[in-house]
Structure 1
Amino acid sequence: MVSKAGEEFDLKLKFPEDYHAENLAGQDVVFTVKLHKVNELKLPELNDEFAAKCGPFTEMKEVKADIKRELTAQKEREADEKFKDALVGELTEKSKAALPELLVEDQLRSIERDLTQNLMYSGLSLDSYLKTQGFKDKEEWVKKEARPAAEKRVKAGLVLAELSKELKIDASRDEIQEQINFFKQQYGKDKKMLEQFDNPNVHRDIANRMITDKTVAKLVELNTKK
């Protein structure tokens, strides 16, 4: 086992099949490594002194209680989101709403843009993703994965919009302005980002998002009453 500074050793590795450089994807490689420094990780003792460094705590039991609260809250949020998704999904399945192709195409572009951006952050390309997921080309991916997802999004949006009308749910001008002010505070002094909130289209998008959220909340309420 290598454990001293100055030692050299070889690492036999294999590039991932979806590696962004196609000439290296799936290839075996040997890296010669020289160890310059060895650090040992020492875990701190979980005592009251350590607790004081973690925040406004005086005892370790307070830290453990705080961690438990955070984990419980996280699990509750996850359960709430799954419940919301299930309700919207069930409502969407029962709907016979016609899907405007223009909206579906718009969602397709959004899905491809988001996926491409996320892959780029990982050093991957859309082509490599298609290959690792077993799609022979982009057309097959659109048909089997992207289009069904886009149609589901559009259908859910139409159903919730219709439900909001049925339940007479709306967003007041004050509510919209309050949300805009909140976003502006989040962006601080970023002038370019702040300017977008003067755009009426952005106001409309914010209003629609608020109405959708309020509609989903009402849907949850109607399905949890005893």
Structure 2
Amino acid sequence: MDVTVENLEGLNRKITLALPWAGITAEVDKKLSQAQRKAKVQGFRPGKAPLKMVEAMHGADIRNEVLNDAVVKAFYEVVEAQKLRVAGFPRFNEVENQDDETTFKIDAQFEVFPTIVVGDLSAQEIEKFTTEVSDAEVDKTIDILRQQRTRYNHVEREAQKTDRVIIDFEGKIDGELFEGGASQNYPFVLGQGQMLLEFEAGVEGLKEGETKDVEVNFPEDYQGTQVAGKTAVFTITLKNVSEAALPEVNEEFAKQLGVEDGDVAKMRDEVKKNVSREVNRRVAEKTKQAVMDALLAVTEFDVPQALIQDEVARMMEDARQNFINQGFDAAQLPQLPAEMFAEQATRRVKLGLILAQLVEENQLQPTDDEVRDIVAEFAESYEDPAEVIEWYMNDAERRQGPTALATEGKAVAFVLSQAKVADKALSFDEVMGNTAA
């Protein structure tokens, strides 16, 4: 078999294969003979149909199958012999000028993986983020947990901020009702921005049974195109006012949070442990992103477009599945443009290639104990951590995720050991985005 390998632009390569027709024809004849023995043709006993009839029925498919198999086999034999690292799948094209009747010529175009040289990290300044979880942060988290368990008690007074109200309302624009502008027994909490400010201001101060007309100006960019930029008059009737009552931090509250004996001190310790775990995760993620930015800054190389396209396809499918999981009808979902994902996909592919090189060069593969430590960290939040650890560690497929995290952690630590590191303290609110998880 004659072979020609060409270096095209960048990472692109082309292999021209010249496959002897004799071998292909012999394999086709063999498969036709096998097909004849199994063929069931009307008017003939099984396996007794004439070979020409079997060829007329199945010959084209068999020839295509044999040719495709021969081309793929020959391609990967050349790839192995030439020690080429193929990225993605090759594109096969029949050569127009078939100038030799004894051979079949075909081109295979493909990309190869780039040679990656991780740059000098010693001059890179990387911020390593830290955050302290103090009693104040524990108090703030407990306060949020209390708010999540708010009860509302009926009161006979004017509605005010933080009250939950139940109303009937009917809106009109230029005297005409509009779609979505009316509802009965509609509940919401005043002051949380669930309704437009003018609407809420109109409800505030009303007592049960009172009715009021409120003028509301819809913003130009309001989600309902029918009412955007228009003025509506809402007739609002207040039907119920209830004030918020937060639970006290006591034995009952501690039990609600899973502390069986109701010990408030234990509850605070558990809250601090959970919050610290989440804070550490987020801080580590921010540090990791800084490390990844540094790796990208010092490592330049061409990225195989085939890998980017594969990653874009995965991201598009993930986005689609996410919409479906949120209850959207799969049949009604639009096709998201690939351009939306191209930049992020390129970053992911580049980082994947860089990290693989970094791990291989510096022998950063994690040990079983290091993988177990990763599993143990998130197993703490389960009722039986030991059972969770064994569930992961005793199955190679389940262990892949923790192994990847352990590998990534070792890579981050290695980069930090090579670079100039500046510790940067972040406030609790900066890390948590003013929320507690």
TM-score of the pair, normalised by structure 1 = 0.57
Residue number among 58, 71, 92 corresponding to 2:275 in the alignment? 71
Residue number among 21, 26, 42 corresponding to 2:245 in the alignment? 42
Unaligned segments of structure 2, at least 5 residues: 1-203, 329-335, 376-396, 419-437
Q: Output the amino acid matched with 1:147.
A: A
Residue number among 410, 418, 433 corresponding to 1:218 in the alignment? 410
Distance 1:13 1:88, change over 3 A: same
Find out whether 1:106 has 2:316 as its counterpart: no
Find out whether 1:149 has 2:344 as its counterpart: yes
Asked if structure 2 preserves the Cα contact closer than 8 Å seen for 1:17 and 1:26, the reply is yes
Counterpart-to-counterpart distance in 2, 1:18 and 1:122:
23
Counterpart-to-counterpart distance in 2, 1:210 and 1:60:
34
Counterpart-to-counterpart distance in 2, 1:93 and 1:104:
19
Q: Output the amino acid matched with 2:267.
A: V
Asked if structure 2 preserves the Cα contact closer than 8 Å seen for 1:6 and 1:35, the reply is yes
Which residue of structure 2 aligns with residue 5 of structure 1?
208
User: Comparing both structures, which one devotes a greater share of its residues to helix?
Assistant: 1
Counterpart-to-counterpart distance in 2, 1:215 and 1:2:
60
**RMSD of aligned Cα (Å):** 4.1
Counterpart-to-counterpart distance in 1, 2:366 and 2:279:
30
Which residues of 2 match residues 88-167 of structure 1 at below 5 A? 88-111=292-315, 142=339, 146-166=341-361, 167=363
Please report how far the alpha carbon of residue 219 of structure 1 lies from its aligned counterpart in structure 2 after TM superposition: 0.9
Please report how far the alpha carbon of residue 81 of structure 1 lies from its aligned counterpart in structure 2 after TM superposition: 1.3
Residue number among 253, 257, 273 corresponding to 1:54 in the alignment? 257
Distance 1:146 1:225, change over 3 A: closer
TM-score of the pair, normalised by structure 2 = 0.33
Name the SS for the 2:344 alignment partner.
Answer: helix
Asked if structure 2 preserves the Cα contact closer than 8 Å seen for 1:97 and 1:158, the reply is no
Counterpart-to-counterpart distance in 2, 1:119 and 1:7:
42
Choose 1 or 2 for highest CA Rg.
2
Distance 1:24 1:67, change over 3 A: same
Percent identical: 25
Please report how far the alpha carbon of residue 14 of structure 1 lies from its aligned counterpart in structure 2 after TM superposition: 2.4
Q: Output the amino acid matched with 1:154.
A: V
Asked if structure 2 preserves the Cα contact closer than 8 Å seen for 1:164 and 1:212, the reply is no
User: Comparing both structures, which one devotes a greater share of its residues to strand?
Assistant: 2
